[in-house]
Structure 1
Amino acid sequence: NALLDDKQKPIIIHASKGLEQVSHKRISVIIDEEMAVEKHSGIVVLSGPSHAEEVAKRDITTITAASSSETASQAVQRIFSNNYFRVYTNSDVVGVELGAALKNIIAVGAGALVGLGYGDNAKAALITRGLAEISRLGMAFGADPLTFIGLSGVGDLIVTATSVHSRNWRAGNLIGKGLPLEEILENMGMVVEGVATTKAAYELAQEKDIDMPITAAIYRVLFENARVDEVVEELMLRDRKAEHSTSKMTAEEE
């Protein structure tokens, strides 16, 4: 009802992590398109390093409530915060949603490395360079780079790319051990978001002409039947580059 005041309108909270296929739209964009603005008082993205199994046990957890409405994000912060679940606010909805979606790609890759028998050095390398890719794509869509070193960026990436709780990590681990993707998805029992997100991110990178070699490598494994060990070797033998961009090097060239 258009006559409802803001105190009577619900806040829409979503905790989904992914991108719509073909359109590549973020979840909050889809909600905004499908739900008339006069029906709610704000859309809030709840995201961060938070395995449900551990939250249910009241393990220490910190996450982000992101919204273009500061009033809405602060309301969600008040509602959800307690002595084991701490919520921070953030106005960068683009960065929070992209960080949440894209980290699942890197988690698939991290699992694959472990499945191949690689150790902590390789895992740290993948997570660090994966975060660089996530940041590059996010910044191309106007995200704040600081978001990616926060809870919904590096925080969520670490927890998803290092834990057996993560179905994306588990799927990657089985791929690294040689199991076919179709069999893995049939037997997982839950959606492996990183598979569809890899396709969307790869297409976005192509459209924006953004260098995302890890994402491209994982795409080849998932959708072009490339061997994991071969794409790892190709990544390691890429042209040598500086770690950070300089005044003479753009972020896309990094």
Structure 2
Amino acid sequence: MSVAVLGAGAFGTALALSLSREGHAPRIWARDAATVEAINHEHRAPRLPAITLPDTITASTDIDAVAQAETLLLAVPMQSLHDLLSRIAAPLAGQRLVACCKGVDLAELTGPTGVIAHAKPRAIPAILTGPSFADDIARNLPTALTLACRDEAAGEALQHELSTGALRLYRTTDTTGAELGGALKNVIAIACGACIGEGMGDSARAALMTRGFAEMTRLAARLGARPETLAGLCGLGDLALTCTSELSRNYRFGLALGRGENFDAHLTVEGVKTAEAVTRLAAKLGVDLPICAMVHEVSTGGTSVTEAIRYLLNRPLKEE
């Protein structure tokens, strides 16, 4: 089966590298001609500068040519996914489109598979998500992820196609749970980073992670997800990684907020837009997500970290 990666960022390139170790020759689509030149002729990826790529990985700016592969890994930021799919002329009928992004689309208030289904209704949507950093995958370090696809046969085929010696995939048909776990953990990671940056301590972070997980589960259940999905890699596993490591952009963004420091505006922080989207979605559904709401307020300058923490601590007492 042929596999292509749409997006030449760190995660997409790392996945291409992982697949190349198993005998695949993945093509990468990149917007930037300079990136294509670096991959094809210098065998290096601008987003993974310490890694040398094999010559079996090639790149192109021709998205329609690259999109002819049977399996497409969509490795672009969540808010760019709809635009990416609109660039492709073909209907991609019967092709497997695997979203490798985490978040909720601001326009449609759906996760990645919903965006895929809307833009390319004849394709087979799936999502690859869970606790991982691109550098770990690129260095062939052991990593386990969730592969979610409602089409069980397609999901099983993808699981075998994309798993490698170091990258182990677990399969589920619960795309809603997998999407929301990956999306909301970024929001909670911002909250945890702000907590540590403000000097509130590890006990406060543990409380935010736990109550944040409750919010993740609450919204997912309201949308029909299975609770056990959130308790797996794509929920609890990803939450644990992202809320405790400075390798996470979302966590580092939160740290900067808590410390009153500037953050690199060129870096994509998925949790910011996700906080806005899930706050709107929660209001529409009547679901209480106080931590997510406060992250949205703090991220957009509507309130300070200190005020947000005071608000959360002074909410009415209740049973767990």
Amino acid at match of 1:95: G
State the partner residue of 1:177.
259
Name the structure, 1 or 2, with higher relative contact order (CA <8 Å, separation 6+): 1
Tell whether 2:272 aligns with 1:200.
no
- Aligned match for 1:77, one of 141, 159, 181: 159
- How many equivalent residue pairs? 230
Q: TM-score, normalised by structure 2?
A: 0.69
Q: What secondary structure does 2:126 align onto?
A: strand
Residues of 2 paired with 1:138 and 1:71: CA distance? 24
Give a deviation string over 1:110-168, Cα, whole Å, max 9, x none: 11011111222111111110010011111111111111101101111111111111111
Answer 1 or 2: which has greater helix percent.
1
Tell whether 2:307 aligns with 1:226.
no
The CA deviation at 1:16 is: 1.1
Work out whether residues 108 and 115 of structure 2, in 8 Å CA contact, stay in contact via their aligned partners in 1.
no
Answer 1 or 2: which has greater strand percent.
2
Work out whether residues 167 and 188 of structure 1, in 8 Å CA contact, stay in contact via their aligned partners in 2.
no
Work out whether residues 43 and 72 of structure 1, in 8 Å CA contact, stay in contact via their aligned partners in 2.
no
Tell whether 2:317 aligns with 1:235.
no
Q: What secondary structure does 1:215 align onto?
A: helix
Tell whether 2:107 aligns with 1:22.
yes
Q: What secondary structure does 1:65 align onto?
A: strand
Tell whether 2:204 aligns with 1:122.
yes
Q: What secondary structure does 1:190 align onto?
A: coil
Summarize the alignment of residues 1-254 of structure 1 with structure 2, pairs less than 5 Å apart. Answer: 9-37=94-122, 40=123, 42-179=124-261, 183-184=262-263, 187-243=264-320
RMSD (Å) for aligned C-alpha atoms: 1.8
Residues of 2 paired with 1:158 and 1:119: CA distance? 16
**Unaligned ranges ≥5, structure 1:** 1-5, 244-254
The CA deviation at 1:9 is: 4.2
Amino acid at match of 2:195: L
Give a deviation string over 1:155-209, Cα, whole Å, max 9, x none: 1111111111111111110000013xxx52xx24321010010001111111111
Amino acid at match of 1:208: L
Q: TM-score, normalised by structure 1?
A: 0.86
% same residue: 37
The CA deviation at 1:210 is: 1.1
Residues of 2 paired with 1:213 and 1:9: CA distance? 41
Amino acid at match of 1:136: R
Residues 1:9 and 1:210: Cα distance change in structure 2 (over 3 Å): closer
**Unaligned ranges ≥5, structure 2:** 1-69, 72-92
Q: What secondary structure does 1:43 align onto?
A: strand
